[in-house]
Amino acid sequence: MTKILAISGSLRRASFNTALARAFAAHAPAGTTVEVATLHGIPLYDGDLEAAEGIPPAVAALAAQIAAADGLILSTPEYNNGMPGVFKNAIDWLSRGGVAGGKLFAGKPVALAGASPGGFGTILSQAHWLQVLRALGMRHWSEGRLMVSRAGKVFDGEGALLDGEVAAQLGPYVAGFTAFIGK
């Protein structure tokens, strides 16, 4: 059994990226499970807070989910042509020495995906993530990329997937990533 953790990089209640993460779970191939995680409760990184109180409980909980996963899908929004600050902040906390000796991400397979209300999907955000993934020593799956544009027409107000073309991409995407994890 392959276990994938899809992390939504949005805090919005009706997040397109959380909906996309849930859609991955619904389209996972046999033998693969996809668990969905969000960034709720993670404070802004502050070295003084870390020194005084250690790793916050929300960060420790997400770190445990990441450690238990065979691979990660980062479901990233795109804000101002780049990655969202809240998502980068979470990764910064998770890469600290107090979390798995700073090696939580080393060698971990990772895939990028994202949904945006705009017409270009999340192409620039996904490109922006590449330097971070390299710095963390992650194994990036570059054969598959999923960018959902005009997400307001792809998902309904409750996050249900409406678009058949996008739905048809999800199974092969998760299957391809699962095969990459197994290599």
Under DSSP, the state recorded for 136 is: H
* β-bridge mates for residue 74, sequence order: 7, 112
Residue 68 one-letter amino acid: A
d(C-alpha 94, C-alpha 59), whole Å: 7
Q: What is the DSSP string of 3-49?
A: EEEEEE----TT-HHHHHHHHHHHTPPTTEEEEEE--TTPPPP-HHH
User: What does the pLDDT read at residue 144?
Assistant: 82
> Which residues lie across from 147 on neighbouring strands?
114
pLDDT of residue 3: 98
Q: What is the pLDDT of residues 82-126, one digit of tens each?
A: 999 999 999 999 999 888 999 999 999 999 999 999 988 899 999
Domains of the chain: 2-182 (3.40.50.360)
Whole-number pLDDT of residue 47: 94
- Let me know: does 42 contact 9? Beta carbons within 8 Å: no
Residues 148-177 pLDDT 10s = 999 999 999 999 999 999 999 999 999 999
pLDDT of residue 183: 87
Q: Are 90 and 42 in contact (CB under 8 A)?
A: yes
Q: 59: which residues sit within 8 A by CB, 6+ positions away?
A: 42, 90, 93, 94, 99
Local structure of residue 161 (DSSP, 8 states): B
Helix (H, G, I), strand (E, B) or coil at 110: strand
In 3D space, the residue among 91, 140, 86 whose CA is nearest the CA of residue 111 turns out to be: 140
| Lowest-confidence pick of 25-29, 68-72, 141-145, 178-182 | 141-145
Contacts of 151 (CB under 8 A, 6+ apart): 16, 19, 20, 115, 116, 117
pLDDT value, residue 115? 96
Percent of the chain with pLDDT over 90: 93
- Choose the weakest-confidence range: 23-27, 97-101, 178-182: 97-101
Q: Mean pLDDT, the chain, as a whole number?
A: 96
* The predicted structure's pLDDT at residue 145: 83
pLDDT value of residue 120: 87
Residue 24 pLDDT grade (very low, low, confident, very high; cuts 50, 70, 90): very high
